[in-house]
């Protein structure tokens, strides 16, 4: 069964498929970090695959996946995870060429459903009409992984 989801195994794959891929030059990219031992990851895999199949057809969104299957910090997938600031699975990293990393989203079942709606609005052009800054913020508003909260706890 073919899938529109690109598997990333290293920073080199990320650089090639996301940062320097000509077909992704104006494309929003959603990178899903998951692990085989994670129950939430397993229960949301089919939903993520269906979302990718539906929303990647127009070429506006590219879907990638990184499966963390080692606990060694030097493993290439863990180096990529750490370089993108991912601290837990399942997490999605949204990247756009004009803005870089837009945000990180917990891809639990509730957020995945909400993100699918928002990405559908992005694909349909509804979010584009609100202005670039607004639609990028709208994609992650309320879904972002609690980095701001974590920073507040340290103080």
Contact partners, residue 142, CB within 8 Å, separation at least 6:
114
What's the rounded Cα separation, in Å, for the pair 104 and 149?
Answer: 13
Grouping H, G, I as helix, E, B as strand and the rest as coil, residue 20 is coil
Alpha-helical segments (H) within the chain: 11-14, 39-55, 76-83, 109-124, 132-140, 147-154
pLDDT, tens digit, for every residue of 92-113?
A: 999 988 888 989 999 999 999 9
pLDDT of residue 150: 37
Tokens of 61: 């969104």
Residues of the chain with confidence (pLDDT) below 70: 1-2, 126-136, 138, 146-155
The radius of gyration computed from the CA coordinates of the chain, to the nearest angstrom, equals: 15
**Class of residue 88 by CB neighbours under 10 A (exposed 0-12, middle 13-18, buried 19+):** middle
pLDDT of residue 135: 62
Tokens of 83: 């370089």
Q: In Å, what is the CA distance from 147 to each residue of 11, 64, 101, 106, 144?
A: 22, 22, 14, 11, 8
pLDDT, tens digit, for every residue of 30-43?
A: 999 999 999 999 99
pLDDT of residue 154: 33
């Amino acid at each position: 069964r073919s899938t529109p989801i690109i598997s990333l195994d290293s920073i080199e794959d990320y650089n090639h498929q996301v940062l320097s891929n000509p077909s992704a030059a104006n494309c929003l990219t959603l990178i899903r970090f998951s692990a085989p031992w994670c129950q939430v990851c397993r229960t949301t895999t089919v939903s993520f695959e269906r979302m990718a199949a539906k929303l990647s057809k127009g070429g506006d969104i590219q879907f990638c996946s990184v499966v963390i299957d080692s606990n060694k910090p030097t493993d290439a997938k863990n180096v990529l995870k750490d370089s993108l600031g991912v601290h837990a699975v399942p997490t999605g990293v949204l990247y756009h060429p004009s803005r870089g990393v837009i945000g990180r989203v917990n891809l639990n079942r509730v957020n995945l459903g909400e993100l699918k709606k928002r990405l559908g609005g992005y694909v349909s052009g509804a979010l584009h009409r609100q202005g670039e800054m607004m639609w990028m913020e709208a994609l992650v508003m309320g879904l972002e992984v609690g980095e701001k909260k974590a920073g507040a706890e340290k103080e």
